[in-house]
Chain A
Amino acid sequence: MTYLLQQLLTEAAAQHPQRPAISASNCLVSYSELDRISNQIARSLLHLGVAPGDRVAVLAPKSAAAVAGLYGVLKAGACYVPLDPKAPAQRLGYVVQDCGATVIVTDETRAAQAAALAGSLPGPGSVLVVSFTGSSPVAEESPEPLTGDRAIETDLAYILYTSGSTGLPKGVMISHRNSLTFVDWAAAAAGLSETDRICSPAPLHFDLSVFDVFATCRAAGCLAILPEGAATFPVSIAKWLTSERISVWYSVPSVLTLLASYGSLGQCDLSQLRTVIFAGEVFPPKHLAQLMAELPHPRYLNWYGPTETNVCTAFEVPPGSAEAGPAPIGKACANTEVFAVTSEGHRVSRPGEIGELYVRGPSLMRGYWGQPAKTREALIPSPFRPECEELVYRTGDLVTLDPSGNYLYVGRRDSMVKIRGYRVELGEVEAALYRHPAIREAAVLPVPDELLGSRLRAVVTADDAASLARQSVLDHCRQWLPSYMVPDVVEIREALPRTSTGKVDRAGLASE
């Protein structure tokens, strides 16, 4: 019985040893090879002193070496913490310190960056470079399976860092059981089999990648990795999808919008593509309709769920329905209950009522790493069954119902926005601005953008506004924030407008 993520790999390797597990540029890895090299990585980690429950950072783009690294960490009984290789060093330094990582696993492309970051690790930090082609200390270890149990299903499998409203990223703790609840459901919902070739361009620190890394393995399918260069050019993505015969695709809507608008899809033979899944933000109906018109044959699935819950609702978009309005987020996944609570505390039960979406089930996170107070705000007793020991998650997302009982996303309760599917807390951007020595006040406002979801507009004041340069503000932000969180527009003023109660008048700023 599978109760740990790494058992998916052991089973796939036992049943389909020669089938391709990973197809990357110039590199094809079978299940047998992936199983054996991840055993070697696990042994290397044990020699570096990694113990069950330890956190191991993984700093790499999605690559065969990185995926092997994830399994190696799990087989060592540890928990992996995927880092965004493109994030500024200050932010990465904070994450590795916050989670108390002892080792950084990386591939050849990021070895120098990992070595520089190792100085931020608490204690004597080590770096383990995984390579399928060059020489690596990993290759000297035995590839045989490790003996003994190092984890149980409630232990942490990974921690995903996401934007935090107080100015620092927070770590969402996901156990093996949390993740497998999603993985089992997802593999069934997408009908994955060993003949599928599955791709998601989402990087490892983004929760969408749990699907292509683990659900693919559950089905013994092939994880195809989109080369970084191809991902920039819509026509290159379309050609790559054709030549790689991708059958299942999973991404944020903005990538699909680009493909539909600029990919020349009509000139490609995408007959192998049977399922297109999107999640992370609202798909603009016009562009979804355009995509479904250009590629009418695949199934289109809208999945919804914050990192804290994994995917918790799903909806299959019927042909011809996209133009009518945003696709519903649908109904609850297997083993999951979702319900919405109005501001008066009643359960949303009919179309038109709006409430905050709550989620209950085994896919819910264990909490935020090192932040029990924040965890207690997010995971609370059910408002309708307070005597029940099991907690529910408050998503902060406002929803309503359609006549068929599907939930429809309406908006946010707080000041979180989505940019290219990434969560951005406006408060985190403001906190970064306040670290600038010359800035006195800062307000960050979302500007709706059809392609990105939102753009960010920062309005700041300074004691000497005339001498504060926009470029200085941007350069400062880039030291602290990943690129999708850096404001697109910076306005420097003498003062911010105020409401009658003295608060910053955000509504007034937004309507300017």
Chain B
Amino acid sequence: METVINEYISQELVRDPGLLPLADDTSLLESGILDSLSLLQLVVFLEERFGITVGDQDLLPENFASVTTICAYLRTREPQKQAAHG
């Protein structure tokens, strides 16, 4: 999961080549990689790739601080997804 998300962000969202390669714990906010619009682009990708819906209330700095926190957030979502399908 980390690899998939890191690759997507590196290829589609990083605008400054100096930030590559991207470490999983690099702050996506302090580095300026995520702004209000690239965040939504990322959310659309996550929703399509992982079959989840990200609620407005989950769009928070603590969930989207880095590749690592995004994965941690997605893992909290997976049981709900299974429950919904079960």
Q: Chain A interface (Cβ within 8 Å of chain B)?
A: 86, 228-229, 231-236, 254-255, 258, 262-264, 420, 451-452, 471, 475, 478, 483, 486
15 more A-B residue pairs beyond the given contacts A232-B36, A478-B16, with a C-beta to C-beta distance below 8 A: A232-B39, A233-B36, A233-B59, A233-B64, A234-B36, A234-B59, A235-B59, A236-B61, A254-B37, A258-B40, A262-B40, A262-B59, A452-B37, A475-B17, A478-B17
- Decide yes or no whether B25 CB sits under 8 A from chain A: no
Query: B39 contacts which chain A residues (CB < 8 A)?
Result: 232-233
Asked if A235 and B36 make an inter-chain contact with CB atoms under 8 angstroms apart, the answer reads: no
Residue of B nearest to A471 (CB): B11
- Whether A232 and B16, one on each chain, are in contact in the complex, defined by CB atoms closer than 8 angstroms, is no
Within residues 39 to 86 of chain B, which ones have a CB less than 8 A from any CB in chain A?
A: 39-40, 56-57, 59-61, 64
A264 touches B37 (CB 8 A): no
Cβ A264 vs Cβ B57 within 8 A: yes
Of all chain B residues, which has the CB nearest A86? B32
* A236 vs B34: C-alpha distance when bound (angstroms): 14
Q: A235-B60, A263-B56 are in contact. Are A229 and B16 (CB under 8 A)?
A: no
Report whether A235 and B56 are in contact in the complex, using a CB–CB cutoff of 8 Å: yes
Most chain A CB within a 10 A radius of its CB, from B29, B35, B36, B37 = B36
Distance in Å from the Cβ of B83 to the closest Cβ of chain A?
A: 23
Contact A483 B15 (CB under 8 A): yes
Q: B61: which of A229, A254, A451, A452 is its contact (CB, 8 Å)?
A: A229
Closest to A486 in B: B15
A-B contact count (CB 8 A): 50
Residues of B within 8 A of A254 (CB): 37
How many angstroms between the C-alpha atoms of A165 and B57 in the bound complex? 42
Q: Chain A contacts of B11 at CB under 8 A? A: 471
Residues of chain B within 8 A (CB-CB) of A263 are 56
9 contacts between A and B (CB under 8 A): A86-B32, A229-B61, A232-B64, A233-B61, A234-B56, A235-B59, A236-B61, A262-B59, A451-B40
In the complex, which residues of chain A have a beta carbon less than 8 angstroms from the beta carbon of B59?
233-235, 262
Could you say which of A255, A451, A471, A483 has the most chain B C-beta atoms within 10 Å of its C-beta?
A483
Best-buried of B15, B17, B34 by chain A (most CB within 10 Å)? B15
Q: How far is the CB of A7 from chain B (nearest CB, A)?
A: 36
Complex contacts, B15 vs chain A, CB 8 Å: 478, 483, 486
Chain B nearest Cβ from A424, distance in angstroms: 15
Please, which residues of chain A bring their CB within 8 A of the CB of B40?
Answer: 258, 262, 451
Name the distance in Å between A117's Cβ and chain B's nearest Cβ: 16
